[in-house]
Chains A and B, each alone.
Chain A
Amino acid sequence: MSEIPGDLKFLKSHEWARVEDADQVRVGISDHAQSQLGDLVYVELPNVGDHVEAGNACAVVESVKAASDVYAPVSGEVVAINEALGDKPETINEDAYGDGWLFVVKPDAEARDELEELLDPDAYAELIENDEH
């Protein structure tokens, strides 16, 4: 299990969010999630311009084992998607917190509270620790 970067926030459903600036929140799934799913073979991303709602399913990651919904950690407009995953979904297995990002959201003005509610790395680490026992 790789170290969890300190600048990430998490949903209980294993998505991470990185606030890069006020207009840009990058989203992916955690290293724990990719390891539970196994080899990823297919990723379905939202379209640039789509509006996503915090807590709603907006992408699908599919592994050799199962399909899994990805929930938006924050509401806003999708401004970028990781198109490289179309040909190389295994990037998520290899680098979940880096090159394996899924999409970037420009948060709505009122989305600040949503970000506050996300888990910090320590709380998330505790959550997955309990998951495994």
Chain B
Amino acid sequence: MTKQTILNATHRAAGAKMVDFGGWDMPLHYGSQLEEHHAVRHDAGMFDVSHMTVVDLRGNRTREFLRHVLANSVDKLKVSGKALYSCMLNERGGVIDDLIVYFLSEDFFRVVVNAATRDKDLAWIEQQAQRFGVSVTERADLAMIAVQGPHAREKVLPLLHPEDRARIEKLGKFVAGEARGPGEMELFVARTGYTGEDGFEILVPESHAVALWNALAGAGVKPAGLGARDTLRLEAGMNLYGQDMDEDSTPWEAGLGWTVVLDENRDFIGRAALEKQKAQGVPRELIGVLLQDKGVLRHGQRVLTEKGEGEILSGIFSPSLGKSVGFARVPAGAGENLRVDIRGRELPLRAVKYPFVRDGKACI
């Protein structure tokens, strides 16, 4: 049985093409994925991301628990509302999931994990939390709407209670705060996202989600589907769990080394394996790639290098660049001379730095 978010009927009424995504019936697009992509890059768009899993962690030892289960260091979180992106690893250093953790108070942190990995994430978190006496509560009662784009914040702010507006306007990047929305509905507003644009991700009680969605639409925010979400996040150089990394790849092999903190006196799960791999030499790496020729890079295509074969992890036609870009996993030190096999034809592939697009501007 496919699961539905509280906004399902709203999407259908708007003519969305629905697809199965990790067991959820979600909008792929509302007519044109390309238009939705450009709306987010140049104005403001919104995504229903209520399928994502919100988990509240409570207890005096919550920080200690998170220091143990996350590869990034929650010691960076010092001010209430501050958020951190991190991987959660298994003992082999493989990525169980990537997530965002919000520090609310010393005995209350909130994490948002992926939808497709919900069951295993919850099982893992609950198992590890036990010995720290941390309570784990899934917040299935909360819906989540991501409002993204250069004009996203200025369209959201007028919908907030006047007393909360200035405070939310001043939120720094990767910081969240509570606010009242239309009709005093209680919101958790985070200045985070998955598009490379400014904006908010808003948690809202399910009972108010449709009203908030409609208010945002009334403010000129365009609904956007998972299709645009994928092209936006890849242009922004952001990984997708299950495609760019999984339990058999370490952060070193997934371009996520920047999220790993090997600080002193912290024994997080997977650390020993990561240190061992680093000492021995990381065998594979994730690189950004650009296809000069016409055609589209897709997940699973073979990449040929002087050091052996690799593969395309994520590949899209980039609406902002008018060319195809992607992530590839290749043998370490594969160099610049790359080719990709697209339906039996070998085309030259250029290794490029990513993000490919940031804040509306091409970076390559």
Binding site for B on A (CB under 8 A): 38-39, 41-42, 44, 60, 62, 64-67, 86, 90, 93
Contacts and interface: CB of A to CB of B under 8 A. Distances in A.
Interface of B: 17, 28-29, 32-34, 227, 231, 294-296, 298, 316-317, 319, 343
> When A and B form their complex, which 6 residue pairs have the shortest distance between CB atoms, in order from nearest?
A41-B317, A39-B34, A64-B33, A62-B296, A39-B33, A42-B294
A38 B29 contact: yes
B343 A64 contact: no
Contacts, number: 39
Contact of A64 (B34, B294, B295): B34
Contact of B296 (A41, A90, A93): A41
Given A38-B227, A41-B317, A42-B317, A67 B298 contact: yes
A42 to B, nearest CB: 6
Main secondary structure of the interface of A (DSSP, over half): mixed
Nearest to A36: B17
A65 B231 CA distance: 10
Nearest to A57: B343
Given A42-B296, A42-B317, A67-B296, A60 B227 contact: no
A64 B298 contact: no
A67 B343 CA distance: 10
A60 B343 CA distance: 10
Nearest to B345: A44
A86 to B, nearest CB: 8
Contacts of A44: 294-295
B240 to A, nearest CB: 15
Contacts of A41: 34, 296, 317
